[in-house]
Amino acid sequence: MGKKENTVNFEEAISRLEEIVKILESETISLEKSLELFEEGMTLTKKCREKLKDAEGKIKKLSKIESGKVEVKEGG
């Protein structure tokens, strides 16, 4: 995937993963191509997990701020 792999957003990654699954299930591709797609899928899966983990962290942080559990200092 190259450079685009680093800039793909979550929704694009999920869409590509769905495409990969359909291709792999079709059983009309070579072993080499299957391995390439599997590797691409694993890379996309890792990126999706990272994005979800980041989002979860942001949600937890915002939840703590909203509930008053985090002291927010203004004016540094």
Query: Tokens representing 54?
Result: 């980041």
pLDDT in tens, 18-67: 999 999 998 789 999 999 999 999 999 999 999 999 999 999 888 888 77
**Total of domains in the chain:** 1
Per-residue b/e over 41-71, b at no fewer than 16 CB within 10 Å?
beebeebbeeeeeeeeeeeeeeeeeeeeeee
Which pTM does this prediction carry?
0.71
pLDDT tier at 7 (50, 70, 90 boundaries)? confident
3-state SS, residue 66: helix
Specify the pLDDT at position 71: 56
Residue 24, domain CATH: 1.10.287
Supply the range of the domain harboring residue 9: 3-66
Q: Residue 20: count other Cβ atoms within 10 Å of its Cβ.
A: 19
Do the domain assignments include residue 51? Answer: yes
**72 inside domain:** no
Q: Is 40 helix (H, G, I), strand (E, B) or coil?
A: helix
- Whether 76 shows a pLDDT value over 50: the answer reads no
Instruction: Confirm whether 74 is domain-assigned.
Output: no
